[in-house]
Structure 1
Amino acid sequence: MRRNMKTDCLLLLLFFSVIINAVFFYLYLKKPHFLYPEHVEENRLCVYFRGGLGNHMFQYASTYGIARTRNMTVGILPSSVLFNTFNVSTKYLIGKQFCDSAEKVVERKPCAFDKGSVHFVRKKKRNYIHKSYLQSWKYFSDYEDEIREQFVFMEDVQKKARNLLHSLTKPFASANLTTVAVHIRRGDYKNQNNVKYGYTLATGEYLSRAFKYFRDRYQPIVFIVFTNPNVEDLKWCKYHVNGSDVVFVPENPREVDMCAISMCNHTVMTVGSFGWWGSFLAKGTTIYFSDVARNNSNLRKDFSVDMSDYFYPGWIGLK
């Protein structure tokens, strides 16, 4: 009887030992910082978010590319809007305290590739945070496939976008219909401070040339116009953009609009990072407004000489 009790106790201890080790192994794989804070306290490059959705996407994609290039790990806070929009990997989650204490890195130009923003001097056992806009595709060009895999919209967003496009294109029912998303941003770009800084608005003439480019190549075709729904901007758009092949999109959450843009065959963009990312994700032919910054303005100095660091290769620039 004693031998059986002793054996039972040993078996019970062995059972609990296996369970405890399994739990610790799981925590190590899933959340190493829970057991080993030093894994999080060094070699992280935190993403610093500011601006709108398009800005956030540049900041994440470029920081990701820089971190991969430098053999670092991306650090992203769970409060980021990207987690509610895309299937961004949760393995990069990090506590706020680590980013708050990280050493700061800054760029020289927000719309141009800067080698110094990639190859900054690193100290041992330090985290860093890139407090920059990082609006250049060159930062993540070697990891583009990985970025596209992460910038896949959540299923509920995709469903809303598909329903939206279906309702807009239903009157044009055709198996060969070509869809062209047109993103027109005006709004805040008309503000005095932005105009003074060098922002210029896309003109009606530019849009006419962009529409002609696609009308000459595709039929049947429909242009799906995404713009700010305020009365003034909508009036301007409907005056300069018209035709039986044009439809205007009603107001939607920004992530639904961008997802719908990405589902179209081709794109026409005016200004702003929102249109940039919608076009990038769409993968079709993109026409962009090349005169986005007034010559000799402070904004123009934010770009590279020919602006090729900002505009994606293969896109077609028109004025």
Structure 2
Amino acid sequence: MKTDFLLFALFLSVITNAVFFYIYLRRPHVFYPVQTEENRLCVYFRGGLGNHMFQYASTYGIARARNMTVGITPASELFNTFNISSQFLMGKQFCDTAEKVVERKPCAYDKGSVHFIRKEKVNYIHKSYLQSWKYFEDVEDEVREQFVFMGDVQDKAHELIKSLTKPFASKNLTIIAVHIRRGDYKNERNVKYGYNLATGEYLSRAFKYFRDRYDPIVFIVFTNPNVEDLKWCKYHVNGSDVVFAPENPREVDMCAISMCNHTIMTVGSFGWWGSFLAKGTTIYFSDVAQNNSNLRKDFSFDMSDYFYPGWIGLR
């Protein structure tokens, strides 16, 4: 029995080291410091890629504001997507034993999430969504540098854009990325919580905004690959200047969105980050939450903590 336990422990050790060196060799520029002092703010990852990006960027911004080190383990898909170059700890035990900090609202800036009372020689972990650009406003350029896509992801995204725009051969072509999320937002639990799905009328107005301003133009639609959602999208989004992206890994989709000139987003953090990285004009669906719903209470009173300054809200 004891021998079996020792063999199992040895097996786990070998696997852990193999994963470490695989990640290390793929990212030789990343520094994995071995530290024991307590002055860390750990990232707690949950949700999808867009959620992870908010959690990392906001924790990074808070840590910089408080002169702390970002404590992180390479468990997130961020490390298969971006050339993350900030220092982080491999020692999972540091974050497992850290004191928790929790936000009041997941889609609004919370001063208490930044200026929490710190004890000496104590690590902290932010178990929050932290979905507000205000958390990393002062280090935005550094965040953008963190979110540089891996070379292989960029290559695939570039080929995708090239193949989809080939029929629209023009040196002056303006490319608009359209991210339409429906999928899980249609289920009963999310509807009850307060989610509104973007309407066909909203998309028509958003398309008109760009068609009135650019020519030639092409809209590349990124959406859920299931039959029902594709059918809905193709009914409400059509025209000779519209193409639909085939199914790809989500990191490739986000990279492709970021390569477009401008963006139209519906709901969700994935579309938010694709638009943020694209840096062009962004049209967003402003009626994302039902009035007086639990979801609406997750935002600030005018939602300005969530939607990035300069983006244009339509409904």
- SS of the aligned residue for 1:224 comes to strand
| Paired amino acid for 2:267 | V
Matched, 1:87 2:95: no
Deviations 1:109-163 (A, max 9, x none): 0000000000001100010000000000000000000000010000000000000
In structure 1, which of residues 212, 216, 225 is the aligned counterpart of residue 221 of structure 2?
Answer: 225
Kindly report which structure 2 residues correspond to 1:154-165, keeping only aligned pairs within 5 A, or say none.
Answer: 154-165=150-161
Corresponding residue number in structure 2 for 1:9:
none
> Hey, what does 2:43 align to over in structure 1?
47
CA distance in structure 2 between the partners assigned to 1:203 and 1:38 by the alignment:
52
The residue matched to 2:87 in structure 1 has which SS?
Answer: helix
1:151 pairs, out of 147, 152, 157, with 147
**1:274 pairs with 2:263:** no
For the 8 Å contact 2:103–2:113, the answer to whether it is kept is: yes
1:1-319 matches, within 5 Å, as: 33=34, 37-39=35-37, 42-89=38-85, 91-319=87-315
Instruction: Output the TM-score relative to the length of structure 1.
Output: 0.88
User: In 1, distance between residues paired with 2:98 and 2:205?
Assistant: 48
Structure 2 stretches lacking a partner, 5+ long: 1-30
Specify the alignment match of 1:19 in structure 2.
Answer: none
Q: CA deviation at 1:93?
A: 2.8
Q: Please report how far the alpha carbon of residue 38 of structure 1 lies from its aligned counterpart in structure 2 after TM superposition.
A: 2.9
State the TM-score, normalizing by the size of structure 2.
Answer: 0.89
Pick closer, same or farther for the CA change 1:32–1:132 going to 2, 3 Å: closer
1:245-279, Cα deviation, whole Å (9 max, x unpaired): 00000000000000000000000000000000000
1:273-300 CA-partner distances (Å, limit 9, x unpaired):
0000000000000000000000000000
Give SS of 2:36's match. Answer: helix
Instruction: Return the offset for 1:78.
Output: 1.8
Q: Tell me the alpha carbon deviations over residues 66-111 of structure 1, each in whole angstroms, 9 at most, x when there is no partner.
A: 0000010101102221111001015223311110000000000000
- CA offsets 1:162-216 (integer angstroms, 9 cap, x no match): 0000000000000000000000000000000000000000000000000000000
Partners of 1:66 and 1:247 in 2: CA distance: 40
Q: Are the aligned partners of 2:32 and 2:90 in contact in 1 as well (CA < 8 Å)?
A: no
The separation in 2 between residues aligned to 1:201 and 1:315, in whole angstroms, is: 19
The alignment-based identity, stated in percent, is 86
Q: How many residues align?
A: 285
User: 2-side partners of 1:132 and 1:231: how far apart?
Assistant: 34
| Amino acid in the other structure paired with 1:247 | V
CA distance in 2, matches of 1:45, 1:193: 33
For residues 209-239 of structure 1, give each alpha carbon's deviation from its aligned partner in whole angstroms, at most 9, with x where no partner exists.
0000000000000000000010000000000
Q: Which structure's CA Rg is the greater one? A: 1
Could you tell me whether the CA contact under 8 Å between 2:46 and 2:52 is conserved in 1? yes
Distance 1:32 1:54 in 2: 27
Report the Cα offset of residue 32 of structure 1.
Answer: 5.1
